[in-house]
């Protein structure tokens, strides 16, 4: 097996175990799930932090969600477009939220912030998120002239809101809440005709 395939197999096995077992995942379990010796993990990855960075990068891969966002018709209402975008992002954000919650719980994100070497390793994550946010901004292009803020800024706020909810594994954003959330984003907090202060 090529080193690239072995690396991919280890990362995918780790992600599957994180999704299934959360904080209880060990490198021994990863090795067993991948059908390899535990020492092989550390022949492929320098340390556990490098493995976890690779897991985060894999969780952030966004090819599928970018295609789904691009397929949302710009002729639909902005509300319909944002609801469709939330649907397209649901699985992606849950996958990322689960991995981020796990990494934070095991102290990986704190260690990553303290390591300058890890910063370069997380470039793929930043680029993936930036691509998704840019695709969300493109969905707002028809309304650009009537928006209070630039489309990219609104798209980033919407992404952040949906992502924050996806990390609350015990209280995920349910379908019935999405229309209210989108209405709030599109129309603001005040009811039409309310006196402004």
Residues 71 and 116 in one domain: yes
- Residue 115, domain CATH: 1.10.357
pLDDT digits (tens, 9 = 90+) for 152-161: 999 999 999 8
User: Which of 22-31, 123-132, 141-150 is predicted least confidently?
Assistant: 22-31
3-state secondary structure of 150: coil
pLDDT digits (tens, 9 = 90+) for 33-54: 999 999 999 999 988 778 888 8
Answer whether residue 167 is part of any domain.
yes
Sign of the torsion angle spanned by Cα atoms 14, 20, 23, 24: negative
Residues 62 and 100 in one domain: yes
Residues 114 and 29 in one domain: no
Residues 70 and 159 in one domain: yes
CB 84, CB 135: distance < 8 Å: no
Prediction pTM value: 0.76
Answer whether residue 146 is part of any domain.
yes
Number of domains in the chain: 2
Domain membership of residue 93 as a residue range: 49-187
């Amino acid at each position: 097996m090529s080193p690239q395939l072995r690396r991919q197999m280890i990362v995918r096995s780790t992600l599957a175990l994180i999704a299934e077992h959360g904080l209880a995942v060990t490198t021994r379990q990863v090795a067993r799930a991948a059908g390899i010796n535990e020492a092989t993990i550390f022949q492929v990855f320098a340390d556990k932090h490098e493995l976890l960075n690779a897991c985060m990068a894999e969780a952030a891969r966004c090819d599928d969600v970018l295609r789904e966002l691009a397929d949302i018709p710009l002729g639909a209402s902005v509300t319909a477009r944002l609801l469709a975008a939330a649907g397209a992002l649901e699985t992606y954000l849950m996958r990322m939220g689960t991995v981020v919650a796990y990494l934070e719980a095991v102290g990986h994100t704190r260690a990553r912030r303290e390591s300058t070497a890890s910063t370069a390793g997380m470039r793929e994550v930043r680029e993936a998120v930036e691509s998704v946010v840019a695709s969300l901004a493109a969905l707002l292009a028809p309304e650009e002239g009537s928006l209070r803020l630039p489309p990219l800024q609104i798209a980033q706020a919407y992404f952040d809101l949906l992502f924050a909810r996806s990390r609350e594994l015990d209280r995920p954003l349910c379908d019935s809440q999405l229309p209210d959330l989108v209405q709030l984003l599109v129309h603001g907090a005040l009811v039409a005709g309310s006196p402004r202060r």
